[in-house]
Amino acid sequence: LNCIDMDGQCNGFDHSLMKAVSDAVSIPVIASSGAGNEQHFTDVFTATNVQAALAAGMFHRKEVEIDAVKKHMMSNGIPSRT
């Protein structure tokens, strides 16, 4: 689920949109657009019912490493793929 208003902003995912949609549908929802740091992933999983979250720009620009996101999530009890 892409929130174009958050795309490229690096201020976090749109929690209200992600929660509204993930609560309303029975298919998996993947949060997209807005991630700028490790905490944004932890936040979207704790504040909504999304099944996955993605980011691109912050990784391509090497602002955040994928392993840092996974470690942050793990330290907050949120599983991720290895």
Question: Per-residue pLDDT tens for 5-39?
Answer: 998 889 999 999 999 999 999 999 999 999 999 99
Q: Measuring CA to CA, which residue among 32, 33, 43, 29 is closest to residue 72?
A: 43
Q: For the chain, state the CA radius of gyration.
A: 12
Q: Model-level pTM?
A: 0.91
| pLDDT, the chain, mean | 95
Distance of CA 46 to the CA centre of its chain: 10
